[in-house]
Amino acid sequence: MKVVIVGAGFGGLRLARKLNNKAGFEVVLVDKFNYHQFQPLFYQVATAGLDASNISFPLRKVFQKSKNVRIRLADLKSVVPDENKIITDIEEINYDVLVLATGADTNFFGNAELAAHAFPMKSTVEALQIRHRLLHLFEEAHTITDEDELQRAMNIVVVGGGPTGVEVSGALAEMKKYVLPKDYPELDFTKMNIYLLEGTGKTLASMSQKSSEKSQQYLEKLGVNVLTATLVKNYDGKNVELQDGNRIPAATVIWAAGIKGNIPNGIDHSLIARGNRIKVDRYCKVQGLQNIYALGDLAYMETPGFPHAHPQVAPAAIQQADMLAHNLLLIEKKANTDRLYAFEYYDKGAMATVGRNLAVVDVPKPKLHFSGFFAWLIWMGLHLMLILGVKNRFFVFMNWLYNYVTYDQNLRLIFREFNREESIKKKF
């Protein structure tokens, strides 16, 4: 059975590893990057807490000893279900079974101006762009003489009060408190404002009421201006325009307000559900198709426990991959289809960190809530275990330890773009 998996996120990579060296399978793993990205720690790369290599792991290294998994570095252009093939930017690949695990991208809700000026954070590259932007702003700020322009440069707006927005806001607040005044003594960081804008009435709306209240309390304690029930209408690169007519001058806006599925061309529009996700049955099979599946953020599966589909989080993608791997093994052996598993999501809980010694954790069964230092330890331990590679775990842990002891990070580096043509002109 030739299984083509598109996307090496949590779901796609998990499925490939489950089918690794299994007799009867030929697996092709397609991704536009040659590494797996650990998305929960993007915000630490963006705020110079971790190096990008610490949360990225080469795909070819994962499958160095594999006899049946092959990697293709390519961008999916289209799916052709009638011909059992996909078209990428480098080649056409035939399949017996296709698994779409392309994940989700930033949702700007059709606002082109927002997309042009706000900074998303859905990839390692985008996290590095935010880090580059922030460091450049502070380097340039001490040359700004106009008070209004200086204030605009010192204002950072984070849109979206979910886990990503809360975590990046807390990290920025800690940079403002512990790091930036030492790096830039000529700047008055009492004038620096960090705004967190959330359209609903509370932060971490998907978590418990206690977690929402605690997270907002922690953020305000760190000096973040939390504005709930606040919707962004537009951003032109200079001012954030709110729905109520107010404006916030800001040179930097980090957009963490929504995601949408990365649906390739060739998928029937009738199969696309809310959030730009593909409708699938309880076996992750795309409705109406016999040999195409969708996993993780891309899959829209309605179940009695989750009538509006499962949350777009890593555990759901991993559990779906485990279920699909089990079923494909049975299908390849031509076993009784009654033995196929139907997917049932086991919600182990949710968590978010705000800063040093500050985090919130919800466990649904038994119903428990933790906050503060103990929750922070749980958050760190779980994320450390989920990172691929012993070396990566070691370096992440050492960075966290160094940061905890010194109240500092050592990754505030600005790498300028190298223009080879200009360099040659200067030499000759």
Q: Are 301 and 281 in contact (CB under 8 A)?
A: yes
Whole-prediction pTM value? 0.91
Q: What is the Cα–Cα distance from 361 to 352, expressed in whole angstroms?
A: 7
- Domain check: are 123 and 91 in the same one? no
Instruction: Output the pLDDT for position 422.
Output: 54
Q: Which of 204, 235, 257 is the last residue of a domain?
A: 257
CB crowding 361-383: b at 16 or more within 10 Å, else e: bbbeeeeebbbeeebbebbbeeb
In a domain, 362, yes or no: no
For residues 48-85, one letter each, b for 16 or more C-beta atoms within 10 angstroms of the residue's C-beta and e for the rest, the string is bbbbbebbbbbbeebbeebebbebbebebeebebeebb
The string of DSSP codes covering 138-180 is: HHHHTT---HHHHHHHHEEEEE--SHHHHHHHHHHHHIIIIIH
Angle (CA) 104 49 395, round 5°: 95
Residue 355 lies in a domain: no
Catalytic residues: 167
Instruction: Report d(CA 341, CA 295) in Å as an integer.
Output: 15
Same domain, 116 and 249: yes
Give yes or no: residues 175 and 286 share one domain: no
Report the alpha-carbon distance of residue 240 to residue 248 in Å, rounded. Answer: 5
Count up the domains in the chain and report the number: 2
Q: Which residue has the tokens 């779901």?
A: 11
| Residue 382 placed within a domain | no
pLDDT at 425: 56
Same domain, 130 and 239: yes
Domain end position, chosen among 257, 277, 302: 257
Q: Do 270 and 243 belong to one domain? A: no
Is residue 287 situated within a structural domain?
yes
Residues 274, 285: one domain? yes
Whole-number pLDDT of residue 409 = 76
Number of helical H runs and strand E runs in the chain: 13, 25
Query: What is the C-alpha to C-alpha distance for residues 48 and 179, in angstroms, rounded to an integer?
Result: 11
Write the DSSP string, 39-62.
GGGHHHHHTTSS-GGGGEEEHHHH
Tell me the longest C-alpha to C-alpha distance in the chain: 75
Residue 12, domain extent: 2-32+74-106+259-339
pLDDT at 366: 87
Does residue 286 form part of some domain? yes
Residues 37 and 365: their CA atoms lie apart, in Å, by: 30
- Residue identified by tokens 């460091």 is 135
Distances (CA, A) of 94 to 27, 75, 81, 135, 343: 11, 15, 10, 46, 27
Is 57 inside a domain boundary?
Answer: no
What CATH number does residue 121 fall under?
3.50.50.100
User: Is residue 217 domain-shared with residue 286, that is, in the same domain?
Assistant: no
Q: Are residues 99 and 175 in the same domain?
A: no
**CATH number, residue 99:** 3.50.50.60
Collapse the DSSP code of 79 into the 3-class scheme (helix H, G, I; strand E, B; otherwise coil) and give the result.
strand
Residue 420, pLDDT score: 52
Question: Parallel, antiparallel, or unpaired for β 97-100 and 2-6?
Answer: parallel
Examine residue 211 and state whether it is found in any structural domain, yes or no. Answer: yes
State the pLDDT at residue 334: 85
**Cα 91 to the center of its chain, rounded Å:** 28
The answer on 196 and 89 residing in a single domain is no
Same domain (yes/no): 210, 237: yes
For 15, 113, 168, 241, the CA distances from 234, given in Å and listed in that order, are 40, 7, 21, 5
Last residue of a domain, one of 203, 230, 257: 257
Q: Is residue 349 part of a domain?
A: no
pLDDT, mean of each 10-residue run, the chain (428 residues): 96 97 96 94 93 93 95 96 96 97 93 94 93 91 91 96 95 94 92 95 94 96 96 95 95 94 94 95 95 96 93 94 96 83 93 95 92 95 90 91 85 66 53
Q: Count the neighbouring beta carbons within 10 Å of the beta carbon of residue 306.
A: 14
Residues 199 and 280 in one domain: no
Q: Give pLDDT, residue 390.
A: 85
Shared domain for 154 and 173, answered yes or no, is yes
